[in-house]
Amino acid sequence: MKIAIITNVFHPYERGGAEKVVKHLVNELKKDNQVVLITTKPKGLALELEEAQNIKKYSFFPLNIYYYLNDFKHNAIIRLIWHFFDQFNLHSFFVARKILKKEKPDLVITHSLMGIGFLIPKAIKKYKWIHTLHDAQLAVPSGLIIKDNEKDFFVSGFLTKCYARINKCLFGSLQKVVSPSQWLLDFHEEKGFFKNCEKRVLPNPASFEIKSNPKQEFEKPIKILFLGQIQEHKGIIFLAKALKKLDRQFKLIIAGAGTKEIELKSIIHDDNRFRFLGKVDSNQIKNLLDFCDYLIVPSLCYENSPTVIYEAFSQGVPVIAADIGGVAELVKQGQTGFIFDSANTQQMLEAINRAEAVENYAQISQNCIDLIKEYTPENYLKNLLG
């Protein structure tokens, strides 16, 4: 079977969990299928083709005023213009259509299309088509909805509603949509998306090989890992400020990169309870999860189904997380971790205290492993194509 995957960015260009999901999907598909991958590159107008191990990877720079992953370098006006060209990117449409006509896939699976162009659906209308949701980008250009800012102009204003209405039309020929969380699927349905297609909630595949044995009881003080973008909406600044005021011992290890690194470093400066590592690779992530007692996800924005939680569970690491978006569909109170209301300092600190005082840590770790065993790449692919 020949399957085309269309996604905005792919390794080595990546930002978050969506790229990891696509990478695992491609690696699983190539075992028994021919894979045609259509994605972007940051520069160079020529279409680039790489072939290896049942994969044909086509990459190109979609004509626009900047590359998708460089959006943080530009102000709101420039980004607004960029979004207009992205939604009606004829260059991407013609490139994708040409590749698909040449390759003639049996199935097309799309992932995040922002940055490769929202006219892509027009190029795949005649093919069997599955779309996988990762965030709210079809309805909200930034993909970000911050708690208590749901009525913000950039979330629910006139231009955003026009943007969503166009995307609803563009996705009108979709046959099947897959969402990792019920929350994200419900969000899109409430906005009027996907009225005439099959809908499926399918949690993401586990990122790492799943450990066979749980973690054992830990020695105090608690060791917590934050793993993600160093951005305001990810809650790391909120977390650091809250923990900084505590008059007791703990260890917070912070791994990631982002535009708030300088502010973060100024908060944790000269406090040996904090350790900032910067960006880390997958092997380092495994080592950090092995060392730490809990992962913390203190998001201030609505999350879909964070890949980092799957990574933690696969290593038997429970999670302390803000209950926002689809997070609580994974993190069950007292079973696979502890949850708290997003942006609530007192509740977050109470959740950390409960996590440190827990008497059945090994059982909670085992619960995480048992849950994630259902989310193997093999099972994911079977359910995706079934």
List CB contacts of 238: < 8 A, sequence separation 6 or more. Answer: 298, 300, 343, 345
Whole-number pLDDT of residue 154: 82
pTM: 0.91
List the pLDDT tens digit at each of the 386 positions of the chain.
Answer: 999 999 999 988 887 788 989 998 999 999 999 999 999 999 988 999 999 989 999 999 999 999 999 998 999 899 999 999 999 999 999 999 999 999 999 999 999 999 999 999 999 989 999 999 999 999 999 888 999 998 888 888 999 999 999 999 999 999 999 999 999 999 999 999 999 899 999 999 987 889 999 999 999 999 999 999 999 999 999 999 999 999 999 999 999 999 999 999 999 999 999 999 999 988 899 999 999 999 999 999 999 999 999 999 999 999 999 999 999 999 999 999 999 999 999 999 999 999 999 999 999 999 999 999 989 989 999 999 98
Domain spanning 223-373, CATH architecture: 3-Layer(aba) Sandwich (3.40)
For the stretch 127-164, pLDDT in tens is: 999 999 999 999 999 888 999 998 888 888 999 999 99
Whole-number pLDDT of residue 15: 78
Whole-number pLDDT of residue 183: 97
3-state SS record for 207-275: CCCCCCCCCCCCCCCCEEEEECCCCHHHCHHHHHHHHHCCCCCCEEEEECCCCCHHHHHHHHCCCCCEE
Q: What is the DSSP code (8-state) at residue 146?
A: B
Q: Contact 348/185 with Cβ under 8 angstroms?
A: no
Residue given tokens 């590749």 in the structure block: 99
Q: Contact 22/10 with Cβ under 8 angstroms?
A: yes
Q: Round to whole Å and give the CA distance between 323 and 342.
A: 6
Q: What are phi and psi of 84, to 5 degrees?
A: -60, -50
Whole-number pLDDT of residue 274: 98
**2-202 CATH, one of 3.10.20.30, 3.40.50.2000, 1.10.3210.10, 3.40.50.300:** 3.40.50.2000
**CATH 3.40.50.2000 placement within the chain:** 2-202, 223-373
Cα 369 to chain centroid, rounded: 21
